Structure formats: structure tokens, C-alpha cells
């Protein structure tokens, strides 16, 4: 009985924990991952992906996340359309999330320098825990020495949860700067894994920007940008900020992941320091980052991210073109 209670408690803990969205360190390298308004940006066709691996050596399990996208520009409609897919898996709980999104964005030219791009997103997602290893008390038949496949336990868990998701975002930009806002889960879909359960997915808010610092620019082949991304979902928050130096085909960045809204006395203000390197070659853009954990959370073996994007139309060999 005690083992059963502990198992259920762990399952419910993970159900609530995983109502949080995946956060990518390289969101500014692949901005579609944080703001769908980048779909068809620069009137181009693009494809890309991010792979994130988080190792917890002290607990012997990994967390793997992938984001893939394809988007295109339609000049007759003055619009961009994007398709993205996100996958998230854990090796310990066998938890997985898969979501397919379709986004539409429209470009509005405010004046000679500034543009405004609102967008809407429709998604379909499925969460799966794989509860094959959970056995309820009424399934055990000690007289026949068998385990039944059926249970009448009122807390019986569903194998998966499926839901429809809606979001909206906007982007304001020039040739040197951009900033935007993204809202996900506007309809607060029910993600409960319990039969007859009700667990609404919390609203996800992200405010992000990349601002060029002209006083640090000494020729046309280089630039320095201040980059930031503030994320809030329920009581959880994360603020990434830092600087990106771009020179010709190369990019070097250093960011810090922080927890500015302290939810408890044990919360850490700075959770990791993240160096990022990038390289552009014949339309391809490559990125690699590693998050060095500096909090007191034990067992974290570090987080690695790899990103690859390809621009089909703007085969430019420098980080300054396009702006991101």
C-alpha cells in the first residue's frame, strides 16, 4: 500500500511539474522557437531545429527536447506561414510530449524603419506517461497468482492526454533591433492524466528582444547585441540576458539564466551561465551552447544544445544578414 501511495504521489508530482513549457537557451539563434511571428521573416523560406539534452547524473536519467520548424513567405498575401513540431521525453518517468503547431503571421509596415508582425498559432498536442508499470491493488489476484488488466480504482490514470492549443504573438523590428511578445495556451487546455480530472495548462508569457549596441560597432563586419528573454508561467519565471558578438561568419554569446521572482527562501537568483557559439556557411547557421549550473541543485550534469537552420533564399555568409 505504501509503495502504491508513493508511486501515485510521484506521478502526480510529475504531472504538475510538466505543465511548464520547454525553455531553450538558443531561442535568439532560432527565434521561431520562441515567437511564431518570425515565420517567413526576411521574405524567405527556412528550416531548422534545436536539440537539447539535460543530464541528471545523480539521478540516472536524461531529459531530451527537440524543436523543428519550416516556414515560408507568401508575398501575394503579405503573410508568413510556419509549421513546427516540439518533442520532449524523459528516460526515468517515460513521460513524453509531442505537439504540432501551425502559425500564420501578417506584416505591417509602420514607417520606413519599423515593421509590426502579429501572428496566431493553432496546435494539437499529446502527453504520454506510459503507465504500464503501475499496478493497482484490485488488479492483484493472489488466489490465481495473476494480475488483471482492468481496475476499478477511482484514481485510475489515463495512458495519454490530447488537447488543442491556441496562441498569439507579435514582433516589432527594424534592421538592427527586434522585440516581441508571445502568449501560449490562451484556451488553458486540460492536461490532466486522471480520469475525469481537470488540470488546466497555465498561460505561458514570453517577452524577448535583441538590441544592437551601435557604440560598440567599429566596422560593418561586426556588431554587439544585448539579448534577453523573460518567461513566466504560473509561479515559475526565468529571465535570460546577455550579449552576442557577431563578426562576419562567427557569433559568440554569453548569457545568464536567472530566477528574478523569488518564490521561496531557497530560490536561486542565478541558475546557470551559458556560453554560445555560432557559425554561418552557405545558408546554414550552426549553434552550440552549454549551460553551466551554478545553483545548489545536485545531480545536474549540464545542458547541451545544438541548433541548425537553413535559409533557402537568403544564402548569406554573415551573421549580420539577416538581422538574427
Q: Give domain status of residue 317, yes or no.
A: no
Query: What is the structure's pLDDT at 4?
Result: 41
For residue 125, give the H/E element and its range. Answer: strand 115-128
Residue 320 CA to residue 246 CA, distance in Å, equals 7
Burial class (CB in 10 A: 0-12, 13-18, 19+), 64: middle
Is residue 105 domain-resident? yes
In a domain, 316, yes or no: no
Spacing of C-alpha 241 from chain mean position: 16
Nearest Cα residue to 36 out of 86, 80, 75, 98: 80
Strand ranges in 37-196 using DSSP code E only, listed in sequence order: 46-56, 61-74, 79-90, 96-106, 108-109, 115-128, 140-141, 146-147, 160-173, 177-184
User: Is 324 a domain residue?
Assistant: no
321: closest CA among 230, 251, 232, 233?
251
- pLDDT of the residue at 218: 74
Look at residue 14 in the predicted model and tell me its pLDDT: 45
pLDDT at 2: 38
Residue 239 is predicted with a pLDDT of 94
Domain that includes residue 97, residue range: 2-311
How deeply is 76 buried, as exposed, middle or buried, from its count of CB atoms within 10 A (0-12, 13-18, 19+)? exposed
The verdict on residue 318 lying in a domain is: no
Report DSSP letters for 188-257, one per residue.
--B---BTT---BPPPEEEEEEEEE-GGG--STTEEEEEEEEEEEETTEEEEEEEEEEEETTEEEEEEEE
CATH of the domain at 17: 2.40.160.40
Buried-exposed string 132-144: b where 16+ CB fall within 10 A, e elsewhere: eeeebeeeeeeee
Give the torsion sign (CA, 220, 38, 23, 315).
negative
Cβ–Cβ under 8 Å, residues 201 and 125: no
Query: What is the structure's pLDDT at 146?
Result: 61
The three three-digit cell numbers of residue 137, written as one number: 491493488
User: What's the rounded Cα separation, in Å, for the pair 242 and 274?
Assistant: 9
- Give residue 300's pLDDT: 60
The structural domain count of the chain equals 1
Segment holding 3, helix H or strand E: helix 2-17
- Residue 307 located in a structural domain: yes
Grid coordinates standing for 36?
A: 511564431
Task: Please report whether residue 171 resides in a domain.
Answer: yes
Per-residue confidence (pLDDT) for residue 310, from 0 to 100: 94
Asked whether 39 and 47 are in contact (CB, 8 A), the reply is no
What are the pLDDT tens digits along the chain (324 aa)?
A: 434 434 443 444 444 444 578 889 999 999 999 999 999 998 899 999 999 988 665 556 678 899 999 999 999 999 999 999 999 888 766 778 899 999 999 999 999 899 999 999 999 999 887 655 555 555 565 556 665 555 555 455 556 788 999 999 999 999 889 999 999 999 999 887 766 778 899 999 999 999 999 877 777 778 899 999 999 998 888 999 999 999 888 999 999 999 887 655 666 788 889 999 999 998 899 999 999 888 766 556 678 999 999 999 876 655 655 444
Count of Cβ atoms closer than 10 Å to residue 173 Cβ: 22
Q: Confirm if 10 and 18 have CB atoms less than 8 A apart.
A: no
The DSSP secondary-structure symbol of 299 reads: T
| CA 103 to chain centroid | 16
- Residue 36 included in any domain: yes
Amino acid at each position: 500500500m505504501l509503495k502504491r501511495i508513493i508511486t501515485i504521489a510521484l506521478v502526480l508530482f510529475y504531472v504538475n511539474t510538466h505543465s511548464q513549457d520547454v525553455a531553450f537557451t538558443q531561442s535568439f539563434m532560432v527565434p521561431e522557437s520562441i515567437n511564431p511571428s518570425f515565420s517567413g521573416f526576411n521574405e524567405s523560406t527556412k528550416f531548422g531545429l534545436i536539440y537539447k539534452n539535460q543530464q541528471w547524473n545523480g539521478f540516472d536519467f536524461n531529459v531530451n527536447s527537440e524543436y523543428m520548424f519550416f516556414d515560408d513567405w507568401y508575398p501575394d498575401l503579405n503573410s508568413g506561414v510556419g509549421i513546427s513540431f516540439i518533442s520532449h521525453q524523459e528516460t526515468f518517468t517515460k513521460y513524453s510530449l509531442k505537439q504540432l503547431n501551425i502559425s500564420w503571421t501578417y506584416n505591417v509596415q509602420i514607417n520606413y524603419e519599423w515593421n509590426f508582425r502579429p501572428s496566431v498559432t493553432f496546435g494539437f498536442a499529446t502527453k504520454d506517461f506510459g503507465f504500464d508499470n503501475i499496478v493497482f491493488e484490485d488488479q492483484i489476484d493472489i488466489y490465481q497468482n495473476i494480475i488483471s488488466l482492468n481496475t476499478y480504482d477511482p484514481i485510475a490514470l489515463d495512458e495519454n492526454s490530447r488537447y488543442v492549443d491556441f496562441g498569439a504573438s507579435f514582433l516589432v523590428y527594424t534592421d538592427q533591433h527586434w522585440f516581441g511578445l508571445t502568449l501560449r495556451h490562451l484556451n488553458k487546455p486540460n492536461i490532466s492524466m486522471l480520469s475525469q480530472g481537470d488540470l488546466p495548462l497555465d498561460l505561458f508569457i514570453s517577452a524577448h528582444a535583441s538590441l544592437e549596441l551601435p557604440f560598440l560597432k567599429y566596422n560593418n563586419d561586426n556588431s554587439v547585441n544585448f539579448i534577453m528573454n523573460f518567461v513566466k508561467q504560473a509561479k515559475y519565471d526565468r529571465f535570460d540576458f546577455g550579449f552576442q558578438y557577431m563578426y562576419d561568419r562567427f557569433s559568440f554569446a554569453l548569457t545568464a539564466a536567472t530566477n528574478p521572482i523569488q518564490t521561496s527562501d531557497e530560490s536561486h537568483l542565478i541558475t546557470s551561465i551559458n556560453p554560445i557559439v555560432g557559425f554561418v556557411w552557405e545558408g546554414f547557421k550552426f549553434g552550440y551552447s552549454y549551460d553551466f549550473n551554478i545553483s545548489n541543485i545536485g545531480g545536474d550534469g549540464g545542458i547541451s544544445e545544438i541548433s541548425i537552420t537553413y535559409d533557402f533564399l537568403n544564402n548569406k555568409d554573415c551573421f549580420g544578414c539577416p538581422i538574427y
